[in-house]
Amino acid sequence: MDHSVIHYWEKKLDKEFIETMIGEIGRKIEELVDYRFSVLDSTKFTSWNINLTEFHLLIRVGEKTVYPSNILFGSESPGRVSKKILVSGRGELLADSWYDDRRAIREMFKQGYKPVVKPNKKRFRGRYRKRARLLYNPLEFKQRYRKRSIGESVFGSLTNWFGDRLKVSREEVMRVRIGSRIIGYLAKIYIRYSFLLLVFKNF
């Protein structure tokens, strides 16, 4: 296919389509692979003209694999991000202090998680925030929160695989390229576990 045709369609795909597609693949993988805990985090990739595109990932961490379960593009408030990206889950959800927001933590509880959110020292109010901070004593919290780096390894894998600077200038094309990378990452995991499941069924 000619590059001009690919570039044409890259400009036509909207971010909601990419977010939905990644969410669906993440859900399919979740049906195959169990997870121990989740991580909510964000990063920014750089375009050719040094503009930044931010995206948030909901990441599942299993015994032998780490994979994005959902994505949200853009810079929004922690509460709105949590409302849009979180899907029903279980166990601990680890997040840094940017997500220490009353609405965000309420949504974490609502979706079935135990929030392990690094406290923002300037924020104290909120019933759900207080409830989250009472889940663990400081030592337990520290032990659990340090596992967040396992989930963050997804960003490192994407950077090592493709680099963190994309040779495009348009924001919408940046989102498509980032989404394509994540879909490729998820496809490898899905194919691997689908194959293993097929092999075990034949024994």
- For 201, the enclosing helix (H) or strand (E) is helix 171-201
Instruction: Say what the pLDDT of residue 159 is.
Output: 79
What are 17-40's pLDDT values in tens digits?
Answer: 899 999 999 999 999 999 999 999
DSSP letter string over 45-57? EE-TTS-EEEEEE
Instruction: Say what the pLDDT of residue 170 is.
Output: 74
Helix, strand or coil, per DSSP, at residue 188: helix
End-to-end CA distance of the chain: 42
- Long-range CB contacts (within 8 A, 24+) of 75-83: 77/101, 77/103, 78/103, 78/104, 79/103, 79/104, 79/107, 81/42, 81/56, 82/40, 82/107, 82/108, 83/107
Instruction: Say what the pLDDT of residue 165 is.
Output: 64
What are 104-139's pLDDT values in tens digits?
Answer: 999 999 999 999 999 888 877 888 888 988 888 888
Helix, strand or coil, per DSSP, at residue 69: strand
Instruction: Say what the pLDDT of residue 202 is.
Output: 55
In sequence order, the 6+-apart residues with CB closer than 8 A to the CB of 176 are: 10, 13, 18
Residues of the chain with pLDDT under 50: 1-3, 5-6, 8
Residue matched to tokens 């601990």: 92
Domain ranges across the chain: 3-201
Quick one: how far is CA 15 from the chain centroid?
15
